[in-house]
């Protein structure tokens, strides 16, 4: 009996590593594990590192606004044929968009001539860049959708650490030591390098030919590639800038270690305003189009700020210390506190929709799911609308994740260079949350106005809702209509706007024969030109 017991323990300790070894030995999610979660692994790579590098320092994701890939899906019953603009012709050259569409049309015509039914579906996918940099200056630019490596470049001195990397439609910018390097996206060539005037506090941000570098010397430095000037423009701020700024539609925002939030214009380096908060904001700022900044306060407040004016759209108190960046997806804000509690807030009014404990970081979101890491570093799948848990899977040796509020792709890996992309099985093409956010904002505005959605049939006999009354921008009561507790708001009685009974100073409505209230001794009489009655308080 003892031999059988000892043999059982031997088998248990021998087979257990085999069961979990595929996930925990390297940090790579296996295909079987991904399928059990309704996911599939799209690609994985080992990031390039020089012998001096030890880990990945920074990862940046950028959705291009000028480049896209096109593919044409030709359907034949349950079958589908894909013709892409990147496919090669007989001479080894890419087809291009027009030639790919032509071949798809010819393929569809052949199917119809043979008696089948065919349809052509065009898919337009914006190019998604991923730039990766090691702690010693190894820079890689990838296609975040396919994992294709465009180029790998070593910049700067390998003895100097890197502060961060960023990418826009044309350039990739990286800081090595105190030197700024600008690389061309097409081939990775270094087109410019400049020495910074101060030590950088975090990674840079690039907008066209203007590069914004946060500094530990209480400012943000602005470099213009069109003008070769070693003296940058300065955007002063109180406190060191230790987090990467965020770009808005026409401005840039950042927080400092002194707890202040600053917003400046991007077209011209000029300060717009400083946000007055009740507590200190040390977490990075988040932005959501079309014009909202969200800031987490250390004292537990969450602020939604109007980009052009700096006015407070709403403020919500969560009662916990907030030191991490808010994640904005669609029309929701996901806030993770220092105590590992996640709150989902409505971007319209800041109300708490749901909360979930034991979460430390938001990873990505799809159409119906939210992916996060729990307190133990396991991958947790939540219901996007209710916050309920679907599944939790051990993430093994995964110790590096990228928060991706732009698409539904999940990027994770290890600090020593492994990067993998995972997405839902049915989602062949990336789901862009930028487009979803714009649609959600329109839907919420129409819901607030009580109007039917466009292209939505109305019920028989239903009447269209009237437009809500216009409210001035400085309405202290907010909302889309005057609040019910506003004693000075004009009434609506279908022609005569009578003042409320408890407003002693409202003017009378002579055209409708409505006299001022009896307790108003200063209101003018309404007798059509006759002398006032003897009683000064009553007509």
- The 10s digit of each residue's pLDDT in 126-164 is 999 999 999 999 999 999 999 999 999 999 999 999 999
Among the listed ranges 10-24, 71-85, 164-178, which one has the minimum average pLDDT value? 10-24
* Domain co-membership, 276 together with 387: no
Nearest Cα neighbor of 422 from 432, 412, 433, 431 is: 412
Please indicate, yes or no, if residue 500 is contained in any of the structural domains: no
Please indicate, yes or no, if residue 525 is contained in any of the structural domains: no
| Secondary structure percentages of the chain, helix, strand, coil, to 5 | 10, 40, 50
The span from the CA of 250 to the CA of 265, in Å, is 6
Q: Tell me which residue range forms the domain holding 365.
A: 23-38+360-450
Whether pLDDT at 254 is above 50: yes
- The 10s digit of each residue's pLDDT in 433-484 is 876 555 555 555 555 565 554 454 444 444 444 443 333 444 433 333 444 4
* Domain co-membership, 94 together with 163: no
* Domain co-membership, 335 together with 192: yes
Neighbours of 174 (CB within 10 A): 29
Which tokens sit at 315?
């403020």
Please indicate, yes or no, if residue 394 is contained in any of the structural domains: yes
* Domain co-membership, 383 together with 292: no
Please indicate, yes or no, if residue 422 is contained in any of the structural domains: yes
CATH of the domain at 395: 2.40.10.480
Please indicate, yes or no, if residue 301 is contained in any of the structural domains: yes
Please indicate, yes or no, if residue 255 is contained in any of the structural domains: yes
The span from the CA of 401 to the CA of 415, in Å, is 9
CATH of the domain at 161: 2.130.10.10
- Which regions of 50-99 does DSSP assign to beta strands (E)? 56-76, 79-84
* Domain co-membership, 306 together with 416: no
- The 10s digit of each residue's pLDDT in 177-196 is 999 999 999 999 999 999 99
Please indicate, yes or no, if residue 235 is contained in any of the structural domains: yes
* Domain co-membership, 185 together with 293: yes
Please indicate, yes or no, if residue 512 is contained in any of the structural domains: no
User: Is-contact 399 377, C-beta < 8 A?
Assistant: yes
* Domain co-membership, 213 together with 192: yes
* Domain co-membership, 142 together with 95: no
């Amino acid at each position: 009996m003892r031999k059988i017991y000892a043999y059982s323990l031997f088998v248990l300790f021998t087979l257990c590593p085999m069961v979990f070894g595929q996930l925990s030995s390297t940090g790579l999610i296996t295909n079987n594990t991904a399928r059990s979660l309704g996911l599939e692994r799209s690609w994985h790579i080992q990031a390039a590192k020089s012998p001096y590098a030890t880990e990945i320092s920074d990862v940046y994701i950028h959705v291009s606004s000028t480049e896209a890939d096109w593919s044409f899906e030709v359907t034949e019953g349950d079958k589908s044929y894909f013709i892409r603009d990147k496919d090669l012709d007989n001479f080894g050259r890419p087809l291009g968009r027009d030639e790919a569409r032509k071949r798809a049309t010819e393929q569809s015509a052949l199917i119809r001539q043979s008696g089948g039914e065919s349809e052509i579906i065009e898919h337009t996918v914006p190019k998604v860049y991923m730039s990766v940099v090691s702690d010693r200056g190894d820079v890689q630019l990838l296609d975040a959708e396919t994992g294709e490596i465009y180029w790998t470049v070593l910049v700067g001195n390998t003895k100097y650490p890197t502060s961060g990397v960023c990418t826009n439609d044309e350039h990739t910018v990286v800081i090595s030591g105190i030197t700024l390097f600008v690389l061309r996206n097409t081939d990775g060539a270094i087109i410019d390098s400049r020495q910074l005037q101060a030590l950088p506090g975090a990674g840079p941000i690039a907008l066209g030919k203007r590069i914004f570098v946060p500094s530990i010397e209480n400012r943000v430095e602005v470099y213009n590639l069109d003008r070769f000037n070693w003296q940058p423009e300065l955007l002063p701020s109180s406190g060191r800038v230790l987090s990467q700024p965020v770009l808005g539609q026409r401005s840039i925002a950042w927080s400092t270690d002194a707890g202040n939030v600053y917003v400046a214009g991007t077209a011209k380096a000029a300060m717009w305003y400083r946000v007055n908060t009740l507590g200190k904001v040390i977490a990075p700022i988040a932005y959501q189009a079309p014009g909202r900044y969200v800031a987490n306060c250390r004292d537990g407040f969450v602020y939604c700020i109007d980009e052009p004016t700096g006015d407070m759209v709403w403020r919500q108190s969560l009662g916990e210390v907030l030191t991490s960046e808010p994640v904005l997806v669609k029309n929701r804000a996901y806030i993770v506190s220092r105590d590992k509690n996640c709150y989902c807030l409505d971007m319209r009014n800041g109300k708490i929709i749901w909360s979930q404990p034991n979460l430390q970081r938001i990873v990505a979101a799809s159409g119906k799911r939210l992916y996060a890491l729990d307190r133990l570093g396991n991958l947790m799948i939540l219901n996007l609308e209710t916050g309920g848990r679907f599944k939790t899977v051990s993430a093994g040796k995964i110790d590096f994740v990228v928060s991706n509020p732009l698409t539904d792709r999940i990027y994770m890996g290890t600090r020593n260079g492994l990067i993998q992309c995972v997405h839902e099985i049915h989602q062949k093409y990336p789901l862009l949350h930028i487009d979803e956010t714009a649609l959600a904002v329109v839907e919420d505005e129409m819901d607030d106005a009580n109007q039917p959605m466009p292209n939505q049939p109305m019920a028989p006999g239903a009447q269209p809702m009237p437009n809500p009354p216009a409210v001035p921008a400085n309405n202290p009561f907010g909302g889309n209509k005057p609040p019910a507790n506003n004693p000075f708001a004009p009434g609506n009685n279908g022609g005569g706007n009578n003042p409320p009974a408890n407003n002693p100073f409202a003017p009378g409505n002579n055209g409708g024969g409505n006299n001022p209230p009896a307790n108003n001794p200063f209101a003018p009489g309404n007798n059509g030109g006759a002398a006032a009655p003897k009683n000064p308080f009553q007509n």
